[in-house]
């Protein structure tokens, strides 16, 4: 029984740990400097917790194996050892708090500092169950919004105020084209319930909170079309609330913008 129990404890722990070495399932590609820093912190945490995991499961299995067989004589009478208590308390405290302090700088970079001046302004608004991505157009200014002018069918899902000149050149689309290597300052809003912006390749996730306009920033460094999903339960259509982050070069982006502006003129 002792051997069987220990063997199963070890086998289960090994089975759980192995895919972390083989990377059969792994983090998606990282397409920003921030994403790579997060991955670094993840790897550090994985190494620290991985070592503790293996040692703890080994020790558990060993204790069961060593002290579970047909031993002669009584168990060792002991109420513990204060030196050991102190040692492992201090060691874990240093390790765990050290980890979080190191991770703090990664967090600070993306959340304590805003975007640099001149970042591309984009606003993303969630609604049950779609994303609306708005660009300020050539004037660089978003038009004011008016709840009463919201008209999903009529092509004004956000209610851009028709009387505000700044809104005349606003472009609202369902996906998010951005320029490769150029920083984006993204303002996140919602029309109804809480949603969340998530692009796995950016390692960024942020709730869109009713009543708030939250800003995050990122710089995508690799061209491509990346899935953008809602990460906060928002109702029955949560599973299909999809958009795309489309990372293109400046020329492609300009061409796309010109086309959208021309379409807008015709309306």
Partner 1 sequence: MAEMAHEHAAHAHAAPTGFVRKYIFSLDHKVIGIQYWLLALAAVLVGMALSVLMRLHLVWPQAKMGWLETIFPAGAAGGVMTPELYLSLMTMHGTIMVFFVLTTAPQSGFGNYVLPIQIGAADMAFPVLNMLSFWVTFVGFVVMIAAFFVQGGAPLSGWTGYPPLSALADAGPGQAAGQTLWIVSLAIFAVGALLGALNFITTTLDLRAKGLSLMRMPLTCWTWFITAILGLLAFAVLLAAGILLLMDRTAGTSFFVPGGLILNDKIVNHSGGSPLLWQHLFWFFGHPEVYIAILPGMGVVSQVLSTFSRKPIFGYRAMVYAIIGIAVLGFGVWGHHMFISGMSPYSSMAFSVLTMAIGVPSAIKTFNWIGTLWGGKIRFASPMLYAIGFVSLFVTGGLSGMFLGQPSVDLFFHDTYFVVGHFHMIMGVASIFGMFAGTAYWFPKMFGRMMHEGLGRLHFWLTFLGVYAIFGPMHYLGLTGHLRRYSELSGFKFLSQNEPLHLFMTVAALITVGAQLIFFVNVFWSMFKGRKASENPWESTTLEWTVPSPPPHDNFGGKVPVVNYGPYEYSVPGAPRDYVMQTDPEGIRTGH
Nearest residue to 182 via CA among 139, 244, 113, 120: 120
Interface positions, 135-194, toward partner 1 (CB under 8 A)? 147-148, 150, 152, 191-194
Buried-exposed string 217-238: b where 16+ CB fall within 10 A, e elsewhere: bbbbeeeeebebbbbbebeeeb
**Residue 143 CB, nearest approach to partner 1 (Å):** 16
**Residue 3 CB, nearest approach to partner 1 (Å):** 11
The four Cα atoms 244, 185, 115, 215 give a dihedral, to 10 degrees, of -100
By C-beta, is 78 or 265 nearer to partner 1?
78
Measured N-to-C along each axis, helices 82-111 and 33-66 cross at an angle, to the nearest 10 degrees, of 160
Interface positions, 73-132, toward partner 1 (CB under 8 A)? 73-82, 84-85, 88-89, 92-93, 96-97, 99-101, 103-104, 106-108, 110-112, 127-128
Tokens in use for 150? 């919201």
Q: Decide: is 237 part of the binding site for partner 1 (CB under 8 A).
A: yes
Chosen residue from 207, 223, 224, 256 binding partner 1 by CB under 8 A? 207
Chosen residue from 7, 28, 155, 165 binding partner 1 by CB under 8 A? 28
Interstrand relation of 195-199 and 224-230 (parallel, antiparallel or unpaired):
antiparallel
**Residue 134 CB, nearest approach to partner 1 (Å):** 15
Question: Among positive and negative, which fits the CA dihedral 247, 249, 253, 256?
Answer: negative
By C-beta, is 92 or 162 nearer to partner 1?
92
By C-beta, is 103 or 181 nearer to partner 1?
103
By C-beta, is 129 or 256 nearer to partner 1?
129
């Amino acid at each position: 029984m002792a051997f069987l129990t220990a063997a199963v404890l070890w086998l289960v722990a090994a089975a759980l740990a192995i895919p972390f070495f083989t990377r059969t399932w792994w983090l998606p590609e990282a397409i920003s400097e921030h994403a790579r820093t997060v991955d670094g912190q993840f790897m550090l945490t994985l190494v620290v917790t991985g070592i503790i995991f293996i040692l703890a499961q080994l020790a558990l299995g060993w204790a069961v194996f060593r002290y579970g067989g047909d031993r002669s004589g009584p168990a060792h009478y002991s109420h513990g050892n204060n030196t050991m208590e102190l040692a492992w308390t201090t060691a874990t405290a240093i390790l765990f708090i050290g980890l979080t302090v190191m991770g703090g700088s990664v967090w600070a970079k993306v959340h304590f500092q805003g975007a640099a001046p001149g970042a591309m302004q984009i606003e993303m608004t969630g609604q049950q169950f779609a994303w609306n991505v708005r660009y300020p157009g050539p004037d660089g200014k978003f038009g004011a919004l008016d709840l009463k002018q919201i008209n999903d069918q009529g092509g004004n899902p956000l209610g851009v105020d028709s009387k505000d000149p700044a809104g005349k050149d606003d472009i609202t689309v369902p996906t998010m084209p951005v320029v490769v290597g150029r920083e984006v300052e993204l303002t996140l809003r919602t029309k109804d319930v809480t949603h969340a912006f998530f692009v796995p390749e950016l390692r960024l996730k942020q709730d869109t909170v009713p009543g708030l306009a939250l800003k995050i920033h990122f710089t995508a460094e690799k061209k491509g079309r990346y899935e953008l999903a809602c990460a906060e339960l928002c109702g029955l259509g949560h599973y299909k609330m999809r958009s795309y982050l489309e990372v293109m070069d400046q020329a492609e982006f300009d061409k796309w913008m010109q086309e959208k502006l021309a379409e807008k003129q015709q309306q």
